[in-house]
């Protein structure tokens, strides 16, 4: 059996295992699993902007909110089916990403970080105060998605929507990052002047990275609204930015596997520590300190360092 056939068998088995997950879970565990997938998708968008392209863009929560509100409001105000609302959410997120890119990418590093955080806070301000459109600070309920009369009205059924969208976008993103686009991202991250001297259009590739982050973030938001069944502005503030950044840093800035591990860890920890809510921030801070001291390349770096099996994926841009 050649290696291509073996890889196909592994991937088919992996996808089959994902499809069968709802058969072994109750509604509560299924809800947590759905959140893990959503957090992975939005963190992937941030990792592309920050880890691969090296741009200090902290607009993941802003894009997520745009996707959630666009999809939810299209369903509530316009009566759109969820599938069409999801497409609208992605397109609106893309438009906002391009708009933000034209303005923000003229800035550098810390100024870019501050401006993109301000963008997220401005969007949250809009959700709170545009009550006629967004229902204000109390938020609103999201209708259950339907397809050909079949209602996705349980966490197990919603999971298949989440799984389908996340797999498609993750595979597309990985293929892009393993192409010349990914190599250009890494070159820009390492040294913009050298990349420009090598005939790489730095501004265009920065814009592309931001567009990918916007698409992934808004798609994650559109999934998030049906996973929760209700959205409020509080879901898309500074706390969400810190959560997404934590997932990316703990996992490792340039790896898919690291993002998967950290998404699972950071999503499950609040549930495990629900009875000790006051300790959550202390624990998160302790995890960051430990990662900085013993694994500055994230969880995946630790796995690579201490595992007897040398993984094929490399840190910081295996493209």
pLDDT, tens digit, 9 for 90 and up, residues 136-173: 998 899 999 988 778 888 889 999 999 999 999 999 99
Digit-coded pLDDT (tens) for 81-127: 999 999 999 999 999 999 888 887 777 777 888 888 899 999 999 99
pLDDT at 315 over 90: no
Query: Which pairing describes strands 230-231 and 140-141: parallel, antiparallel, or unpaired?
Result: antiparallel
- Top pLDDT among 69 and 239 is at 69
Range ranked top by mean pLDDT from 65-69, 189-193, 205-209: 65-69
Mean pLDDT of 190-217: 87
pLDDT of 198 above 90: no
In this predicted structure, the answer to whether residue 319 has a pLDDT above a threshold of 50 is: no
Q: Is the pLDDT of residue 47 over 80?
A: yes
Decide if 62 contacts 32 (C-beta within 8 A). Answer: no
**Per residue in 224-260, pLDDT tens?**
999 999 999 988 988 888 888 888 888 877 678 888 8
Of residues 306 and 30, the one with the higher pLDDT is 30
Q: What is the b/e burial string over 97-131, where b = at least 16 CB atoms within 10 angstroms of the residue's CB?
A: beebbeebbeeeeeebbebbbebbeebbeebbeee
18 or 299, which is more confident: 18
Average pLDDT over residues 175-180: 89
* DSSP 8-class letter at 252: -
What is the reported pLDDT for 289? 77
Split at pLDDT 50, 70, 90, the class of 318 is: very low
State yes or no: pLDDT of 199 exceeds 60.
yes
Residues written for the chain = 319
In the prediction, which pLDDT does 313 show? 47
Q: What is the pLDDT of residue 293?
A: 75
Stretch 180-184: mean pLDDT: 88
CA Rg value for the chain: 19
Q: Is 2 left (phi over 0), alpha (psi -120 to 50) or beta?
A: beta
Q: How many other CB atoms are found less than 10 A from the CB of residue 141?
A: 13
Burial group, residue 7, by CB count within 10 angstroms (0-12, 13-18, 19+): exposed
Chain mean pLDDT for the chain: 84
pLDDT at 286 over 80: no
Strand partners, 151: 146
Is the pLDDT score of 276 beyond 50? yes
Give CA–CA dist 224/215, Å, rounded.
14
Residue 69 has pLDDT above 50, yes or no: yes
What are the C-alpha distances in Å from 216 to residues 107, 136, 234, 262? Answer: 23, 25, 20, 18
Looking at the chain, the whole-number percentage of residues with pLDDT higher than 70 is: 87
**pLDDT-above-90 percentage for the chain:** 36
> DSSP H helical segments within 178-317, as ranges?
180-190, 192-197, 202-228, 238-251, 256-272, 280-294, 298-306
The whole-number average pLDDT for the span 70-76 is 94
Predicted local distance difference test score (pLDDT) of residue 161: 94
CA dihedral 146, 147, 153, 157 (to 10 degrees): -150
What does the pLDDT average to over 279-295?
71
The pLDDT of residue 35 is 95
Mean pLDDT of 275-288: 70
CB-hemisphere CA count at 13 Å for 293? 6
Measure the CA–CA gap between 144 and 226, rounded to whole angstroms.
Answer: 7
pLDDT at 92: 95
| Nearest Cα residue to 113 out of 66, 59, 63 | 59
- Give residue 221's pLDDT: 95
- Give the dihedral of Cα atoms 319, 96, 191, 292; nearest 10 deg: -80
């Amino acid at each position: 059996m050649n290696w291509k056939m073996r890889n196909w068998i592994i991937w088919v088995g992996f996808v089959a295992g994902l499809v069968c997950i709802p058969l072994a879970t109750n509604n509560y565990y299924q809800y947590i699993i759905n959140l893990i997938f959503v957090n992975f998708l939005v963190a992937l968008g941030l990792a592309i902007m920050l880890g691969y392209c090296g741009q200090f863009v902290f607009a993941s929560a802003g894009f997520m909110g745009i996707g959630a509100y666009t999809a939810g409001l299209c369903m509530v105000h316009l009566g759109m089916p969820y599938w069409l609302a999801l497409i609208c959410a992605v397109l609106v997120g893309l438009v906002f990403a391009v708009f933000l890119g034209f303005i923000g990418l003229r800035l550098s590093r810390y100024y870019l970080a501050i401006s993109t955080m301000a963008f997220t806070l401005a969007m949250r301000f809009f959700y709170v105060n545009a009550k006629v459109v967004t229902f204000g600070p109390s938020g609103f309920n999201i209708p259950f998605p339907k397809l050909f009369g079949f209602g996705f009205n349980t966490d197990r059924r919603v999971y298949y929507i989440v799984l389908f969208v996340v797999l498609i976008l993750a595979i597309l993103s990985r293929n892009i990052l393993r192409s010349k686009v990914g190599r250009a991202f890494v070159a820009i991250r390492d040294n913009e002047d050298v990349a420009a001297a090598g005939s790489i259009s730095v501004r265009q590739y920065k814009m592309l990275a931001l567009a990918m982050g916007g698409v992934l973030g808004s798609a994650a938001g559109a999934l998030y609204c049906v996973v929760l069944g209700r959205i409020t502005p509080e879901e898309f503030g500074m706390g969400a930015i810190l959560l997404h950044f934590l997932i990316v840093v703990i996992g490792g800035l340039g790896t898919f596997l690291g993002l998967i591990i950290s998404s699972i860890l950071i999503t499950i920890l609040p549930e495990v520590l629900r009875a000790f809510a006051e300790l959550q921030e202390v624990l998160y801070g302790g995890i960051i300190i430990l990662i900085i001291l013993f694994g500055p390349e994230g969880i995946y770096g630790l796995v690579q360092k201490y595992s007897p099996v040398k993984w094929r994926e490399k840190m910081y841009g295996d493209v």
